[in-house]
Amino acid sequence: MNTYDLIVLGGGAGGLTVAAGAASLGANVALVEKNRNLGGDCLHFGCVPSKAFITSAKKVFEAKKSAETYGMTLSGKPDITKAMARVKEAIAEIQAEDSHERFQDLGVDIYQGKGRIIKEHHIQVEEETDIKGKRVVIATGSRPVIPPIQGIESTSYLTNETTFDVSKTPKRLLVIGGGPIGLELAQSFARFGSEVTILEGNSTIFGQEDEDVISVIKTQLEKELTFQLNARVKKVREENGTKVVTYEQSGYEENIVVDDILMATGRKPNTDDMGLDKIGVNLDDRGNIVVNDYLQTSKSHIYAIGDTNGKFPFTHAAGMEGKLVVRNALFGIKGKVSYENVPWVTYTDPQVFHLGLTEKEARENHHIKVFKVNTRDVDRFVTDRDLSGFIKVITDHKGHILGAHALGTNAGDWMQEIVFAKTQGHKIGDISNVIHPYPTHGAILQQSADLYWRGKLFDGMLPKVAEKYIQWFR
């Protein structure tokens, strides 16, 4: 039986971070992955393919818009198979970075197959190979949740795992679920010509976002998508090559006939059938592994990161957790995890950026100041004719950044400066002193910081003192 310093279960973003980091520091590492290729859901079914598809859809959309704006004639229909080919190309190129050979060259032993914990330090791979580890990291990711809808078991549908294999654009597409995955894919299909309806059980979309963001992004997306809110799907059936979906809304049942259904009803951690119950690893009622601030499970030598612990279901958060676990598991440094400075972006068009507290959350515990700048007041956005977005920065009374939110084209890119500022403990006013080339989108951050100084310098006693000094000074 081979014995390791660290065994990693799962070869996705978090697991690969742990395996590469630990091996580079001299640890003897085993990586167990059930699929043929490394990279996990993000590479093969999530972040990478969806962003490649979104980019293709945006090019189609901009081509149509440009033709209308500049009096050109655009002919033909977009071929979705071309977009899916680009998706596969992107996956293949990134897959090379996550190859078996690369990790083997780092000194990682790779075991292909499903890993199960048979004893506290023992992992069995496909009932054939047993390995032993001093420490174990569970990073097995998640999969789509399919709710128990009447008739769903006999009805074909898409998920994020099958969407990128479609060979034609559905004329009428129903998306069940209005979360980030559903919204991103819905808009992309709409731009390829689908008539898209979204059924969402809540009263709004983007429920975790700042209230100012919700109202604007909903209005923007309604130009391309049809929303049915407070809607609960009751049953589905296939009929003459189409799908008939019955849903309840405001006490009434409605039917909608579509050509395809995309299930975007959330994610479920891949923690079942791993033997966790046999050794006493605690799970919550959703199947998430319960961890402490050091990402340890109820068995201190076993750690859980990424979608398996249900804390912060983003690829970049899994990578951050993975780095922390390398320190904690190998060296016992006992660093605590913190999500305070971890942003997220929803890649609709326009993009929605989120960092820290919303205004409502901040007001509950802080005396706050809010600095808001609209894109129509920033020259670069004006030249781009991108006038419907904004930035909103929330600080305490001393200028410490509590939260930042933005809506706009590529907001996830031009908001990175404030992530750095918050992470490093800078105040909002510090950004005002950074020289931004003119004209750039990042100037919107500088203008928000200028608002801070304007209030600081010109609304207090300083103008009166300055006036007296100027009169005195010769």
If residue 354 lies in a helix (H) or strand (E), which one and from where to where?
Answer: strand 351-356
Peptide bond into 350 cis (omega under 30): yes
- Cβ(118)–Cβ(126) under 8 Å? no
Give me the half-sphere count of Cα atoms (radius 13 Å) on the Cβ side of residue 450: 10
**All structural domains of the chain with their residue ranges:** 2-144+268-331, 152-266, 350-458
Same fold, 152-266 and 350-458: no
Residue-level pLDDT at 466: 59
Total length of the chain? 474
Number of helices (H) and strands (E) in the chain: give both, helices first. 16, 21
Concatenated DSSP letters of 7-66: EEE--SHHHHHHHHHHHHTT--EEEEESSSSSSHHHHHTSHHHHHHHHHHHHHHHHHHHH
Distance CA 31, CA 10 (A): 7
The two tokens of residue 257 are 């006939």
Distance of CA 149 to the CA centre of its chain: 26
Residue 460: predicted pLDDT: 63
CATH of 2-144+268-331, one of 1.20.1050.40, 1.10.630.10, 3.10.450.40, 3.50.50.60: 3.50.50.60
Answer yes or no: are the C-beta atoms of 405 and 209 closer than 8 Å. yes
pTM for this entry: 0.94
What token pair was written down for 212? 């100012």
- pLDDT at position 464 is 62
pLDDT of residue 369: 96
**Among the listed residues 107, 98, 103, 140, the one whose alpha carbon sits nearest the alpha carbon of residue 5:** 107
What is the bridge-based pairing of β-strands 390-396 and 401-408? antiparallel
CB 440 within 8 A of CB 416: no
The first and second tokens of residue 375, run together, are 């894109």
Element (H, E) at 421: helix 416-423
Hey, CA dihedral for 423, 427, 428, 430, is it positive or negative? Answer: negative
The alpha carbon dihedral of 408, 409, 414, 416 has a sign of positive
Spatial CA neighbour of 302 closest among 174, 164, 122: 122
pLDDT of residue 461: 62
What DSSP string runs through 314-347? SHHHHHHHHHHHHHHHHH---PPP--TT--EEE-
Superfamily of domain 350-458: FAD/NAD-linked reductase, C-terminal dimerisation domain (3.30.390.30)
β-strands 129-138, 302-304 pairing: parallel
Per-residue pLDDT of the chain (474 residues; tens, 9 = 90+): 899 999 999 999 999 999 999 999 999 999 999 999 999 999 999 999 999 999 999 999 999 999 999 999 999 999 999 999 999 999 999 999 899 999 999 999 999 999 999 999 999 998 889 999 999 999 999 999 999 999 999 999 999 999 999 999 999 999 999 999 999 999 999 999 999 999 999 999 999 999 999 999 999 999 999 999 999 999 999 988 899 999 999 999 999 999 999 999 999 999 999 999 999 999 999 999 999 999 999 999 999 999 999 999 999 999 999 999 999 999 988 899 999 999 999 999 999 999 999 999 999 999 999 999 999 999 999 999 999 999 999 999 999 999 999 999 999 999 999 999 999 999 999 999 999 999 999 999 999 999 998 877 666 665 666 566 666 765
Distance CA 178, CA 411 (A): 21
Q: For the domain with range 152-266, which CATH number is right: 3.30.930.10, 3.50.50.60, 3.40.960.10, 3.90.25.10?
A: 3.50.50.60
Which segments of 229-325 are extended strands (E)?
231-239, 242-249, 252-258, 260-263, 267-269, 302-304
Tell me, what's the pLDDT at 332? 87
Q: Rounded distance, CA 231 to CA 202, Å?
A: 7
